[in-house]
Amino acid sequence: MNAMYKPKFNKLAQENARDRLMIEYNEVIDKLPPHLKQFIVDQDYSHYTPIDQAVWRYVMRQNYCYLSKVAHGSYVEGLQKTGIGIDHISQMYGMNRILKEIGWAAVAVDGFIPPSAFMEFQAYKILVIAADIRQLEHIQYTPAPDIIHEAAGHAPIIADPEYAEYLRLFGEIGSKAFSSAQDYDLYEAVRHLSIIKEFPNATAEEIAEAEQRLEQVSANMGEPSEMARIRNLHWWTVEYGLIGKPEDCKIYGAGLLSSIGESVSCMQPDVKKIPYTIAAADTSFDITKQQPQLFVTPSFKQLVEVLEDFAESLALRRGGLYGLEVAIKSKNVGTAVYSSGLQVSGVFDEAITDKNNNLIYIHTTGPTSLAYKNKELDGHGKVYHAEGFGSPVGKLKGTNKPLEQLTEVELVMMGIVNGLPCHLEFESGVVVDGVLREKEQVSGGKSLIFVFDDCTVTYGDRLLYDPDWGTYDMAVGESIVSVFSGAADVEAYKPTSRVPHELTKKIVYTPEQLRLQKLYGQVREIRDTKGDYNALPGVFSILKTDFTNDWLLCVELYEILKDSNLYPNQTAEIKAYLEEMKTRKPEYKKLIEDGIRLTDELELTHS
């Protein structure tokens, strides 16, 4: 079918949608910062076609029946707690009315969003839900995120308080992990492939080109970044996790819960079950294929324990020279936190060490911001520090007390007095000479910044700051206790937006497709209202003649007629037709069998 396409969301529509969303969603969303709100799109319910609704219903019926046996105990209960229905695609408004009772919320986004943003949404206890739904051709598994995966996969398990806290903590830690330039290239390649593969009118050449691009990027990733490793942990737990014992486990990962194909295949013996440990961080995955192995955690508590162990390896927790080296390697905006609490946000380009490899001086290039407790300090934004920032790290020579902890009396005794020449010699050998203009301190007297005029900073023969460069702002702090990705005050720093430029594609249906949609809509109306069942045999007659490859509506007709006990001859004819289609279209065999089996089993249950 030669359907045309156009972008699904334009900028104006996104802006208008966000305005409405902020009014209609719950208070958890109101707390989101603007840099995250820009990812939110409207869940335009009118875009869902009758076939989309049928796809949702088929998957949810199958899942409810099968997953009640193999999913974690909180899944079925969670469906009810989070407002996930079976017969109709969930509306975000309804979900949020229920989610707010457990302190969470949901927002719609356009497909894959950058991993760091995804993690940060989780830290704010926001469930990110792709607004689109998989095409009928991908009913068993979709390479793209969709509302079945997000709403029916992620949301139910969030109702478990222990797991919900794991998700929040994961977001808090993961959003601070450093990415590499290659990570974003990989994200864009994966996003592009998912859009192309889920678009029914993409050509074989377009798909092959997208796959080749992903292969090329994947082959040139270099050493895994912090984000790459924590993304592995996310995949093997949140998306594809099993819980229990390797020989007796249940499903809790959303990728498995939302796939009617892989939720069955993953329980087979040929899929290796591995006890979950921190080793999962170094186990890569292929998003386009079913997974050959899965990790099994004994409890949600262990997920938190492994995450905490992993966090200890991150620059966020290690700080120091290691943290600065990670930040420099990333070439992205990062934040170094001094022991005084001062936060330096910018692109780090140098970490100077002494002969014993101790960190003694840090330096950024380009716009830099200074903050305290994640709030930019007045007068220390990107405009003022436009050319970068550099400052010593360590203790002053001749004192055992960190500089930031010295009282005003102690500072005076050391000659550190406003308006007077000041000579500071650090244990490292860094020397600061200048006229102290002022000391910027926080409540309690702790020093954050010393501001110098006519200042020279040296380390041995190396000139680190020249008086001709202007006022010198020296950070105060004995050590760098943490280094994390992103700016301390994101809204003040206003980093370059990473909202995807390529949007998912909206199908413009052909007359033939619209005619089939109308049939689906007619059957749906009859089922929902228990309307004119006499019209159903006529629908089947049209399907046999004009839509010989459509199996799903035939399954729905079989279900309705079997349940109603009307037209037994037509019911038998539809079943025979579906049996014939299994031979003619073997790719539909399991889907048809599962649809018939569920209908027959439910009839036996009700009889």
Q: Are 521 and 590 in the same domain?
A: yes
Q: Which residue has the higher pLDDT, 218 or 433?
A: 433
Q: Are 286 and 425 in the same domain?
A: no
pLDDT tens-place string over residues 312-331: 999 999 999 999 999 999 99
pLDDT of residue 258: 84
- Of 464, 493, 522, which closes a domain? 493
CA distance 101 to 114: 28
pLDDT of residue 63: 84
Rounded mean pLDDT, 245-250:
95
Q: Is the predicted pLDDT of residue 84 greater than 90, yes or no? A: no
Q: In this structure, is residue 463 part of a structural domain?
A: yes
Q: Which residue has the higher pLDDT, 63 or 280?
A: 280
Q: Are 66 and 214 in the same domain?
A: yes
pLDDT of residue 12: 37
Query: Quick one: residue 353, left, alpha or beta (phi over 0 = left, psi -120 to 50 = alpha)?
Result: beta
Residues shown for the chain: 607
pLDDT of residue 290: 81
Q: Are 561 and 488 in the same domain?
A: no
Q: Are 378 and 521 in the same domain?
A: no
Going by pLDDT thresholds of 50, 70 and 90, the confidence category of residue 298 is very high
Rounded mean pLDDT, 31-42:
89
- Of 252, 273, 305, which closes a domain? 305
pLDDT of residue 14: 45
pLDDT of residue 602: 67
Q: Are 88 and 216 in the same domain?
A: yes
Q: Is the predicted pLDDT of residue 3 greater than 70, yes or no? A: no
pLDDT of residue 603: 55
Q: What is the CATH number of the domain that holds 140?
A: 1.10.800.10
Q: Are strands 472-475 and 447-459 parallel, antiparallel or unpaired?
A: antiparallel
Going by pLDDT thresholds of 50, 70 and 90, the confidence category of residue 286 is confident
Q: In this structure, is residue 385 part of a structural domain?
A: yes
Q: In a 10 Å sphere around its CB, with 0-12 CB exposed, 13-18 middle and 19+ buried, how is residue 268 labelled?
A: exposed
Q: Are 148 and 269 in the same domain?
A: yes
CA distance 21 to 107: 8
Rounded mean pLDDT, 402-414:
93
Going by pLDDT thresholds of 50, 70 and 90, the confidence category of residue 66 is confident
The answer to which of 30-34, 139-143, 239-243, 459-463 has the lowest mean pLDDT is 139-143
Contact 126, 106 (CB under 8 A): yes
- The tokens for 205 are 């050449």
Q: In this structure, is residue 112 part of a structural domain?
A: yes
Domain range for 43 is 4-305
pLDDT of residue 1: 31
Question: Dihedral angle at the C-alpha atoms of 395, 397, 403, 407, nearest 10 degrees?
Answer: 150
Q: Which residue has the higher pLDDT, 503 or 406?
A: 406
Q: Is the predicted pLDDT of residue 500 greater than 80, yes or no? A: no
Q: In this structure, is residue 501 part of a structural domain?
A: no
Q: How far is CA 559 from CA 58, 555, 568, 574, in A?
A: 11, 6, 12, 10
Q: Are 219 and 335 in the same domain?
A: no
Average pLDDT across the chain, whole number: 89
Which element (helix H / strand E) includes 519? helix 511-529
Q: Is the predicted pLDDT of residue 505 greater than 60, yes or no? A: yes
Q: Is the predicted pLDDT of residue 456 greater than 60, yes or no? A: yes
pLDDT of residue 342: 97
Q: Is the predicted pLDDT of residue 499 greater than 80, yes or no? A: no
Q: Which residue has the higher pLDDT, 549 or 99?
A: 549
Q: How far is CA 394 from CA 317, 358, 429, 440, 445, in A?
A: 19, 9, 10, 18, 19
Domain count of the fold of the chain: 3
Of 439, 440, 420, 432, which is closest to residue 467 (Cα–Cα)? Answer: 432
The answer to which of 94-98, 132-136, 255-259 has the lowest mean pLDDT is 94-98
Q: In this structure, is residue 320 part of a structural domain?
A: no
Q: How far is CA 436 from CA 172, 440, 455, in A?
A: 39, 11, 9
What percent of the chain has a predicted confidence (pLDDT) above 90? 63
- Of 493, 518, 541, which closes a domain? 493
CA distance 178 to 116: 9
Q: Which amino acid is at 151?
A: A
Q: Are 264 and 345 in the same domain?
A: no
Going by pLDDT thresholds of 50, 70 and 90, the confidence category of residue 497 is low
Give the angle 230-235-237 at the CA atoms, nearest 5°: 95
Q: Is the predicted pLDDT of residue 265 greater than 70, yes or no? A: yes
Of 64, 120, 112, which is closest to residue 87 (Cα–Cα)? Answer: 64
